[in-house]
Amino acid sequence: MANPAVLGDCISLLRRVYATQDAATLEVLRSWKTLAIGAVIDPDAPNVTKYHWTASGNWTAPGIAMAMTGLGVRRWDADPARQPRGAQGAPGDAEQRLMSGEDILKAVAVSRPPCGDCAAALADYGNEHGRVLLAVVPPPTAQQQQQTQAALTAIAAALARVRAQLELYEGEHKAQAALINEPSFTGFAGYWTNRLFNREIPPPTIWLNAYSACLAADRAIGSGDVRAATVATMRARTELVAALRRYAAWKDGIEGAGTKAQVAIGVVALATLAAVIAGPVAVEAAFDAMAAGGAEAAQVGAVEAENVAQITQVITRSEQALLVMEEAATQAEIEAAAAEEAAAFFATL
């Protein structure tokens, strides 16, 4: 049997395709067409997983084809002469198209439950080649799309606040470094003021991890992944506050550093995201659990109200932890704090 992670990849890819489609295309998929993404291996290179996609009846929608190409998923049409549903079953359906050719199908995510013919074909195929992992991932409803877009918009706004704080304090840091290091009368005086009354100015690289987390959040927002975007934004804020405390402790002393950290946390205000992300993250969590064999689609969204309170508590606890973070915390300690924060967030789902 295939590693469940490849089924998770199929689910993620299919959901990313949905995020790029218009309402009319999604309605077709909800109503009468099936879209499938399969994880396959070449028998001669079994350690390399490839991803193929098919549609029932070899249906083509330009937007879907473009999205699949952008994600590196190849359209699979090893046997274009396959006939539509008839006396011989449904060889032209999406699932059975993925089983054609020499590559071996290991996992598949489909937009609709397999028909009886495809279910039987998958079972027979599994008996010969090993069980095929299957997940049904229906296209989002209009309401779910609106909720996801609202969540991504809110996360993007929070991320913009992180960036604004990051650029503000990094710019100030650069200006202070120039006063100390540039060969001028004021620079010379600033250098000796720094030497006599304070410590060595922190290196400019202290802000890089926050910028890296911001880029990760950008990618997650662009792909429509609410949970990954939330975690990356939380990570960006953690890295921002850690760097800020280090810089501000040099410039303003420990007490001033704590004040600036508190202000930065308040400006970013991640706790305000809880209500708007609870629904979409419940959907995403349910699909992830389904990929691992631990949940059914019917459970999606069932814990949304509880999620709001739990997510708020996690973010609040992380803010309190950030306020007491030592200015001299090592990067390993910061990484551990960010990982713990993300783990606590995922545990609410």
Model confidence pLDDT, tens digit, residues 139-154 = 988 888 888 888 888 8
Confidence label for 53 from pLDDT (cuts 50, 70 and 90): very high
Over 70: is that where the pLDDT of 254 sits? no
pLDDT of residue 17: 93
Tokens of 300: 């999606």
pLDDT of residue 148: 84
Could you give the C-alpha distances from 19 to 30, 38, 60, 101, in angstroms and in order? 14, 18, 17, 29
Q: Could you tell me if 72 and 37 are in contact, meaning their C-beta atoms sit under 8 angstroms apart?
A: no
Between 288 and 131, whose confidence is greater? 131
Rounded CA-CA distance 11/291 in Å is: 7
The DSSP bridge partners found for residue 104 are 41
Q: Mean pLDDT over residues 246-273, rounded?
A: 63
Residue 269 backbone dihedrals phi, psi, to 5 degrees: 50, 60
Q: Could you tell me if 239 and 334 are in contact, meaning their C-beta atoms sit under 8 angstroms apart?
A: yes
Rounded CA-CA distance 149/139 in Å is: 15
pLDDT of residue 327: 46
Between 327 and 279, whose confidence is greater? 279
Over 70: is that where the pLDDT of 211 sits? yes
The alpha carbon dihedral of 311, 333, 226, 111 has a sign of: negative
Rounded CA-CA distance 342/59 in Å is: 40
Rounded CA-CA distance 348/316 in Å is: 13
Q: Could you tell me if 276 and 310 are in contact, meaning their C-beta atoms sit under 8 angstroms apart?
A: no
Q: Which of 35-39, 76-80, 103-107, 328-332 has the lowest mean pLDDT?
A: 328-332
Confidence label for 318 from pLDDT (cuts 50, 70 and 90): low
Q: Mean pLDDT over residues 47-59, rounded?
A: 91
Tokens of 184: 């001028």
Tokens of 132: 């095929």
Tokens of 66: 């473009």
Write down the pTM of the prediction: 0.66
pLDDT of residue 197: 44
Could you give the C-alpha distances from 16 to 21, 198, 260, in angstroms and in order? 9, 51, 38
Helical residues (DSSP H) of the chain, grouped into ranges: 4-18, 23-31, 62-70, 94-98, 116-129, 142-181, 185-197, 208-223, 226-268, 274-291, 304-323, 331-347
Tokens 């429509």 locate to: 224
Rounded CA-CA distance 99/103 in Å is: 8
Confidence label for 207 from pLDDT (cuts 50, 70 and 90): very high
Strands, sheet with 35-42, edge to edge from the N-terminal-most edge strand: 74-75, 45-55, 35-42, 104-110, 133-136
Over 70: is that where the pLDDT of 31 sits? yes
Q: Mean pLDDT over residues 38-58, rounded?
A: 91
Q: Which of 27-36, 162-171, 199-208, 336-345 has the lowest mean pLDDT?
A: 336-345
Rounded CA-CA distance 346/349 in Å is: 6
Q: What percent of the chain has pLDDT over 90?
A: 24
The alpha carbon dihedral of 222, 227, 233, 238 has a sign of: negative
Confidence label for 68 from pLDDT (cuts 50, 70 and 90): very high
Confidence label for 81 from pLDDT (cuts 50, 70 and 90): low
Rounded CA-CA distance 195/120 in Å is: 78
User: What DSSP assignment string belongs to 187-248?
Assistant: HHHHHHHHHHHS-PPPPGGGGHHHHHHHHHHHHHHHHT-HHHHHHHHHHHHHHHHHHHHHHH
When the pLDDT of each residue in the chain is averaged and rounded to a whole number, the result is 75
Could you give the C-alpha distances from 95 to 104, 121, 134, 174, in angstroms and in order? 13, 9, 10, 57
3-state secondary structure at position 93: coil
Over 60: is that where the pLDDT of 106 sits? yes
pLDDT of residue 210: 92
pLDDT of residue 216: 93
Q: Mean pLDDT over residues 288-296, rounded?
A: 49
Q: Mean pLDDT: which of 1-5, 67-71, 193-197, 302-306 is highest?
A: 67-71
Over 60: is that where the pLDDT of 283 sits? no
Confidence label for 297 from pLDDT (cuts 50, 70 and 90): very low
pLDDT of residue 85: 54
